[in-house]
Amino acid sequence: MEKGKGNAPAALKGEGSTLSPSPFPLPIQAIVIDLDGTLLHTAPELAESANRMLRDMGRAPVSQDLLMSYIGNGIHWLVKRALTGDMHAEPDTALFDEALPIFEKHYTELLLDSQPFPNVITGLDALKAAGYRLGCITNKVERYTHPLLKGIGMTRYFDIVLSGDTLPEKKPHPLPLLHSAQFFGVPIEQLLLVGDSLSDAQAARAAGCPVFCVPYGYNHGEPVETLNVDAVIPDLTGVLPLIRLA
């Protein structure tokens, strides 16, 4: 069942790619999709939770744009970055231990305010109808992942959901992708990852599977066109024309 013909234009390749142009349509059996920044627009709720945390601790609020640039490596790093104003700094342990449960309280209250990005549901429906098995791989911890997917009505699309604390490693480590390929019983090169960030690109390259990125997500403020990816697609409906059912 082929969707699309011929080779993809060079513009689909990330500018930072060292790979030769991919032979589109790619032979794919299963697709795993990132959550935050790819499926759901969770940044407003995450940013608001961080600012409520800072307020409760007597600290100055931070702009939503800056907080959005902190998203992408899990809630622990978001809290650390909100406390330090730095992408890599470690706050005082006692300060972090005080801040984390405050953040978690507020995020639990706001969790289900998140909404799918445009064309996500249309894209998921089309991929399922075309015969692809789907999974969700996120660095969000399980206590939020499953209630969020269930509350938004997306659980039914996914045969497997891997959260940031499901396995010993999370993205950009390749383990979640290798685990997914084993779960689906497919060769790793026939598993496609759809994401929005450097973490997704690194995980895919380390695992040996193809990766597409959407440009609207949370890549720490950097354009995904510079990443080592096989294609940059406008939204989830852009997947199907570039793959065929292996």
Q: Which residues are the active-site residues?
A: 34
Residue type at position 122: T
Among the listed residues 134, 129, 109, 132, the one whose alpha carbon sits nearest the alpha carbon of residue 39: 134
What value, to the nearest 5°, has the Cα angle with vertex 92 and ends 88 and 98? 110
Structure-block tokens of residue 215: 């440009």
* Residue spans of alpha helices (H) in 87-240: 93-110, 120-129, 142-152, 175-184, 198-207
CA-CA distance, 211 to 230, in Å (whole number)? 6
φ/ψ of 192, rounded to 5, equals -105, 135
CA-CA distance, 125 to 119, in Å (whole number)? 10
Structure-block tokens of residue 180: 């997914």
Q: Answer whether 31's CB lies under 8 Å from 191's CB.
A: yes
Residue type at position 177: L
